[in-house]
Amino acid sequence: MNISRRHILVLLPAAAVAWKHVLAGTPEDSPNYRMSDHWWGMLIDIPKCIGCGNCVRACQTENDVPDGFFRTWVERYHVTDTHLENPEVISPDGGKEGFPIAKEDEGKYFFVPKMCNHCADSPCTQVCPVGATFVAPDGVVLIDPKYCLGCAYCVQACPYGCRYIHPTKKVADKCTLCYHRITKGLTTACCEACPTGARQLADLKNPKDPIHEFLKMHAVQVLKPQMATGAKAFYNGLDGSVR
């Protein structure tokens, strides 16, 4: 960015005004929400996903995600008997407007919704040079847009490709697990909009959360377990070909 002397002269008083707000303290706190009482994750039930793209659209509406960028997206896998290790994967515009019709064909099809895995030992937070991204005490990986330099180390470090540099804010951006919703007792926008219940917000610290029963009764997997990221996006019915 080119900053001329004129820009500096304009910015100095602007910074002074901003400083007042920084010193003023935090915006409205959520009085009844205690971070230490929660450990958030997400359950994704692949056999229930119909690839309608409702989650992608809801996420873009809720979080003002710019066109062409995705905090969540849906991939369609097509695995044939002869190419078990090399599936054909498509995600036209993140699956936002659904998928082309698949004719009866050999092999199998399934949809895989992707999003930030909110890893407990996340590679993205470890590489940040300025402490702009972090795992909050309730297990949600967040980005502080005021601290982020936009260096994109985290974008490279994320093994799941969940981060991007916001085209106008020029800072890293990704799923916040709708932090502004879950701290007020609502579910995430994608879960709210999913018509089949393929996504479910899970609070692993809440003993009454149905996630515990579900994990007990189903064969549940996380993406790239070999990377030991402590991913908390739990996939039911995950095919071995999914990367």
Partner 1 sequence: MSGLKDAGHLFRFLGLFVIAFLVFWVIRGFVVPKSFGEYGHYRGAAIAEIASHPIKFAGHQSCEQCHTDEAGTKAKGAHAHVNCEACHGAIFQLQPAAAAPPENLYQRMLAFAGLRLPADPPLVKHADDPMSVTPVKPDSAVLCARCHTASAAKPKGFPQVDPAEHSGGVPCATCHNPHSPVIGSDTTATAAAGTTAAAGGAN
Residue 197: CB partners within 8 Å, gap ≥ 6? 45, 48
Segment lying near partner 1 (by CB under 8 A), choices 106-114, 115-123, 149-157, 224-232? 106-114
Taking the C-alpha atoms of residue 225 and residue 60, their distance in angstroms, rounded to an integer, is 28
Segment lying near partner 1 (by CB under 8 A), choices 113-121, 153-161, 188-196, 227-235? 188-196
Q: Could you give the count of Cα atoms lying within 13 Å of 96 in the half-sphere of its Cβ?
A: 15
Which stretches does DSSP call E strand in the chain? Answer: 40-45, 72-79, 88-90, 108-115, 133-135, 141-143, 164-165, 172-173, 199-203, 220-221, 233-236
**Which pair of tokens denotes residue 127?**
């590489």
Question: If binding is defined by CB under 8 A, does position 239 make contact with partner 1?
Answer: no
Q: Closest separation between CB of residue 50 and partner 1, Å?
A: 5
Question: If binding is defined by CB under 8 A, does position 212 make contact with partner 1?
Answer: no
Residue nearer to partner 1 on the CB measure, 157 or 224: 157
Q: Which of 189, 231, 233, 242 binds partner 1 (CB under 8 A)?
A: 189
Beta bridge partners of 89: 77
Question: If binding is defined by CB under 8 A, does position 122 make contact with partner 1?
Answer: no
Asked if residues 82 and 140 have their Cβ atoms less than 8 Å apart, the reply is: no
Residue nearer to partner 1 on the CB measure, 11 or 149: 11
Q: Closest separation between CB of residue 199 and partner 1, Å?
A: 10
Segment lying near partner 1 (by CB under 8 A), choices 79-87, 94-102, 114-122, 219-227? 94-102
Tell me the CA distances in angstroms from 122 to 89, 150, 196, one per residue in order. Answer: 25, 18, 29
Segment lying near partner 1 (by CB under 8 A), choices 80-88, 116-124, 130-138, 219-227? 130-138
Q: Which of 69, 120, 151, 187 binds partner 1 (CB under 8 A)?
A: 187
Taking the C-alpha atoms of residue 220 and residue 48, their distance in angstroms, rounded to an integer, is 14
Residue nearer to partner 1 on the CB measure, 62 or 233: 62
Residue-level length of the chain: 243
Question: If binding is defined by CB under 8 A, does position 146 make contact with partner 1?
Answer: yes
Residue nearer to partner 1 on the CB measure, 131 or 225: 131
Q: Which of 5, 17, 216, 219 binds partner 1 (CB under 8 A)?
A: 17
Question: If binding is defined by CB under 8 A, does position 27 make contact with partner 1?
Answer: yes
Q: Closest separation between CB of residue 144 and partner 1, Å?
A: 4
Name the amino acid, one letter, at 19.
W
Beta-strand relationship, 233-236 and 40-45: parallel
- Alpha-helical (H) ranges within the chain are 5-23, 54-63, 123-127, 153-157, 179-182, 189-193, 211-217
Of residues 31-60, which lie at the interface with partner 1 (CB under 8 A)?
33, 35, 45, 47-54, 58
